[in-house]
Amino acid sequence: MSKFGNKFGRPPAQGGGFRAPPTPAAPTAQQRVAFTWKEYLKEGYFDANGNLKIEYVSREKVEPLVQAMCGTGGLSIHQVRRYLSHCRAVESKLKTTGIDWLSVLPMVKKLDISAAEGVSKQPSPKIPELFHDFIRSNVAAIKSPKDFVQGFLPHFEALIGFGQAHFKKEKN
């Protein structure tokens, strides 16, 4: 017997074959929406009168956010539309009479799951960390159908509208 304890003089087997996918690094401050937009979603989507806060659809606030998203590795309109399409499916279910919010809420939560998957793709992420943080922050802020339909959707639509000039162009 060798010093390793087997008759071939080799170290013991280490197991093998499977390696867990790398865990994405924690986002840096610049990869957080709050770095670009101070107090983002701190008090929800609506003002004291129940109206959507104008900052969530204003160029002055939304365009710098989308510019930062597009500047950190690029965000394509194809990827953004994928998330919007999911949101439209949720909106359609909510407009169907008799559908309970709690039955639709898991679909809303799946946005965060999808974004987490998109940012973790290897060798290169499909979406930037800042867009993932945008989705994560908004999913956490959505507590009711009103939050989703009258708060998040107009805000997301503003992001898409102001982002048209900044999104990464698709290759044909």
Between helices 77-95 and 101-120, what is the axis angle to 10°?
170
> For the chain, what is the domain count?
1
User: How confident is the model over 76-97, as pLDDT tens digits?
Assistant: 899 999 999 999 999 999 988 7
What mean pLDDT value characterizes the chain? 86
For range 69-73, the mean pLDDT:
77
Judged against a pLDDT cut of 50, whether residue 110 lies above it is answered with yes
Is 20 a domain residue?
no
Is 172 a domain residue?
no
Residue 129 DSSP SS3: helix
DSSP-derived letter for residue 55 is G
Quote the CA–CA distance of 38 and 61 in Å, as a whole number. 10
* Domain encompassing residue 34: 30-38+52-163
Q: How confident is the model at residue 124 (pLDDT cuts 50, 70, 90)?
A: confident
50: alpha, beta or left, given left = phi > 0 and alpha = psi -120 to 50?
left
Is 80 a domain residue?
yes
User: How confident is the model over 1-59, as pLDDT tens digits?
Assistant: 556 566 667 666 665 555 554 455 555 545 688 888 999 999 999 999 999 999 999 99
Is 3 a domain residue?
no
Is 102 a domain residue?
yes
- pTM recorded for the entire structure: 0.79
Quote the CA–CA distance of 166 and 168 in Å, as a whole number. 6
In 3D space, the residue among 21, 131, 141, 122 whose CA is nearest the CA of residue 82 turns out to be 131
